[in-house]
Each structure stands twice: as C-alpha cells, then as structure tokens.
C-alpha cells in the first residue's frame, strides 16, 4: 500500500518540480537571451472546456539569419496574423526561446501545490480508514 501512497503523492510533486524547472529556464532565457521580434504566421482559436485561447504559430530569426519556428498560447484576439511579438532566444541555442507569458506558470504551480496538499490529506485519511477498519 505504501507504493500507492508514494505514487499518489509523487505525481503532483513531480509536476511541481517540472513546472519550477520550466520557470527557471524561461527566467534564464528572459535574463540572458537576445531580444528579437517573431512574426505571427498563423492564429488558431481553440476552446478548452469553457476557456477559449489563441494558439500562435511564430517564426523568428537569429543574428545569423536562420529562421526558427515557435508557438505561443495567448488570450483570444490579442494578436493577428502578420503582427510582431517580442521573443528572446539563447545565443548558444537559438531554438530555445521564451516570451513574456505573464502569470501562466504561477497559476499552474499554485494549482499543483493545492493538488499535492489534497493528495497528502487524502492519503492520510485513506490510511487512517484502513487501519481503523471503519469504511463508512
């Protein structure tokens, strides 16, 4: 049963670590990256549950003139095809890019922390119920 508890608690903990790593990489790119403008080549609107988002297909060039594809998810109607969007990329790896995504990572991180707290509480209650033999 301990493996079930480790799995239940480990999944949100893994998600938290994954999101923190993504946040750190994005922060590193924002701080030390080279700023450029990406051209929006396509805008597709997607509805996920009750939320509607625009998924942007971008293209930016590095200092050597090579083109790189990128994607971004933004609120509906913020950008149109043909517009520019500020992007930063790493000099040593121009395919790694970041854009100012606001509070997107923070919202997911807070959700995952709440999920972790819930799974810890649920595991504790399940263990308490199994040890007492009271299943009601």
pLDDT tens digit string along 59-94? Answer: 999 988 999 999 988 888 888 999 999 999 999 999
Q: Which residues contact 101 (CB under 8 A, 6 or more apart)?
A: 26, 72
How far from the centroid of its chain's Cα atoms is residue 64's Cα?
A: 29
pLDDT of residue 102: 61
pLDDT of residue 34: 93
Residues 74/56, Cβ–Cβ less than 8 Å: yes
pLDDT of residue 66: 93
pLDDT of residue 50: 84
pLDDT of residue 100: 78
pLDDT of residue 74: 86
Residue ranges for the chain with pLDDT beneath 50: none
């Amino acid at each position: 049963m301990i493996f079930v508890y480790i799995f239940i608690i480990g999944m949100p903990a893994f998600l938290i670590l994954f999101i923190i790593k993504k946040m750190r990489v994005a922060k590193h790119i924002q701080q030390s990256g080279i700023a450029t403008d990406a051209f929006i080549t396509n805008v597709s609107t997607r509805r996920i549950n009750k939320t509607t988002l625009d998924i942007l297909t971008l293209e930016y060039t590095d200092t050597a003139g090579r083109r790189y594809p990128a994607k971004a998810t933004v609120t509906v109607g913020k950008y149109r095809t043909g517009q520019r969007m500020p992007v930063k990329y790493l000099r040593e790896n121009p395919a790694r890019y970041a854009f100012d995504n606001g509070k997107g990572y923070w919202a997911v991180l807070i959700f995952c922390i709440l999920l972790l707290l819930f799974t810890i509480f649920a595991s504790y209650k399940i263990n308490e119920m199994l040890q007492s033999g009271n299943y009601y």
